[in-house]
Structure 1
């Protein structure tokens, strides 16, 4: 089955956390949105509980823990859509975005205390049909948590017992996984989105954070959302992670990492509605 690259565009909202509000091609919008909480999301202040509006949030310098989804998602960013920055928790995060030949390249530069540990997730929620798949190299090490049941993390290999690659319809489940990979493909009928990421300066692991909420969270008002998140580090809470699960700035106090995305069309398959 052949694949053809699609033009890709991105839009961001610097006033409200630098959130990516669109990642699209002429065929489709890839990002899932939750319009019912738009006003609530735009009114948040630093320290507020996370408001899940969809799109892509920058969860930095942690994903979970005492800073709910980090300390930058509720702050105003400075600069332009192509080159923006924000300061929080003793860090500066700079993000440069460029689309060339249909490939979106996002370059993130972190500056702060030399050797200090951090986590950074590019927290993307995607509009994926029940038949869509999340493709990762088979056998990649992972840890998975049954969030709906409140269970502990369990080690395994991709795609796990579920299997996690299936997006699926609403079934009351909610699982979170950290997968040892630097590449993922989202395949939805004829449409493909490929994400790749790498650390260029500093130290520590990179991973994939997968959030597959099929109506199992939150208790009392569940909904369906699929999070596919390039992760700098290998944990969700910077305060409880092991030392080897954190990324760290170098001896100058700097860390650089890159996330790239490209959209493709697969010929010969049936297209799914997102």
Structure 2
């Protein structure tokens, strides 16, 4: 796994909060200057709290854990709607079907580190994404090194997949957010790193499987600038470090799924850090 690169500017302490009772949801990812996670003003907290396994996805914002798929018949997977058990100060786990997901989460020296272990039947195929919705302005940009292969999914029609290269998102720039333009795109990008730059602030994400395991990793970008849903579009921007390389487990080719090893296990890590360009900021 590639470690976090030195971001431009002054490194800032980053804290994280989660809610194990509500699907292990990330409820805050913040520096002293700002909150990075968006909350959907259209969804009351009570609506998210009422969710039970099998319910339709509730787009409350924050960060949701998506396993064993991101979309498809089980929209956003099975674990976001289930209460998690807490084993210690920074470890929680949840079971859905044949799979058990464990997450160790801590902040060391202002860097948030998540370690995920998935257990289940040997060889089982899956997708796992950390679905983070961001509170960023129209001037924000997404930085990915090079021009990696990109799949625009569910475009130009439902069920379609359009191959392209970053930052093209089927006629819209995935790296530039801008004002609302009535478009919505979901894309899978072949990368293990992302920097989100919004004014003076930078959020750096790095991820990968642990040594001894083999699985594809990628990034899902959700760029909805007032293009979804049809009956009441709104703006939401999501970045999703992912284990796998598709969004729909039922549709994914074998080489685009992550698979548990012969012991029935797979472990991967996500590291998030933040910086600010101003100097001499208080901690």
Q: Secondary structure at the match of 1:106?
A: strand
Q: Deviations over 1:42-79 (max 9, x none)?
A: 10110110000000000001111111100000000000
Question: What is the aligned partner in structure 2 of residue 75 from structure 1?
Answer: 82
Q: Secondary structure at the match of 2:151?
A: strand
Structure 2: stretches of 5+ with no match in the other structure:
1-6
User: How far off its partner does 1:149 sit?
Assistant: 5.5
Number of aligned residue pairs: 268
Q: Distance in 2 between matches of 1:55 and 1:145?
A: 22
Question: What is the aligned partner in structure 1 of residue 236 from structure 2?
Answer: 225
Paired residues of 1:11 and 1:81 also in contact (CA < 8 A): no
Is residue 166 of structure 1 aligned with residue 176 of structure 2? yes
Q: Secondary structure at the match of 2:137?
A: coil
Q: Secondary structure at the match of 2:274?
A: strand
- Select which of 97, 102, 120 maps to 1:94: 102
User: How far off its partner does 1:218 sit?
Assistant: 0.8
Q: Secondary structure at the match of 2:71?
A: coil
Is residue 199 of structure 1 aligned with residue 206 of structure 2? no
Paired residues of 2:63 and 2:133 also in contact (CA < 8 A): yes
User: How far off its partner does 1:150 sit?
Assistant: 4.0
Q: Distance in 2 between matches of 1:111 and 1:184?
A: 27
Question: What is the aligned partner in structure 1 of residue 18 from structure 2?
Answer: 12
Q: Distance in 1 between matches of 2:113 and 2:8?
A: 24
Is residue 256 of structure 1 aligned with residue 272 of structure 2? no
Q: Distance in 1 between matches of 2:31 and 2:9?
A: 15
Paired residues of 1:146 and 1:174 also in contact (CA < 8 A): no
Q: Secondary structure at the match of 2:46?
A: helix
Is residue 115 of structure 1 aligned with residue 115 of structure 2? no
Structure 1's 148 and 29: CA in aligned 2 closer, same or farther, altered over 3 A?
farther
Paired residues of 1:31 and 1:127 also in contact (CA < 8 A): yes
User: How far off its partner does 1:35 sit?
Assistant: 3.9
Map of 1:114-153 to 2, 5 A cutoff? 114-145=122-153, 150=158, 152-153=160-161
**How does the TM-score come out when normalised to structure 2?**
0.91
Paired residues of 2:8 and 2:275 also in contact (CA < 8 A): no
Q: Distance in 1 between matches of 2:157 and 2:21?
A: 36
Question: What is the aligned partner in structure 1 of residue 30 from structure 2?
Answer: 24
Q: Distance in 2 between matches of 1:29 and 1:92?
A: 30
Q: Distance in 1 between matches of 2:69 and 2:85?
A: 21
Q: Distance in 1 between matches of 2:35 and 2:114?
A: 19
Question: What is the aligned partner in structure 2 of residue 272 from structure 1?
Answer: none
Q: Distance in 2 between matches of 1:74 and 1:150?
A: 25
Q: Distance in 1 between matches of 2:137 and 2:145?
A: 21
Structure 1: stretches of 5+ with no match in the other structure:
269-274
Q: Deviations over 1:8-64 (max 9, x none)?
A: 000001111110000000000000001432211110110110000000000001111
Runs of 4 or more, structure 1, over 6 Å off, are none
Q: Distance in 2 between matches of 1:150 and 1:250?
A: 33
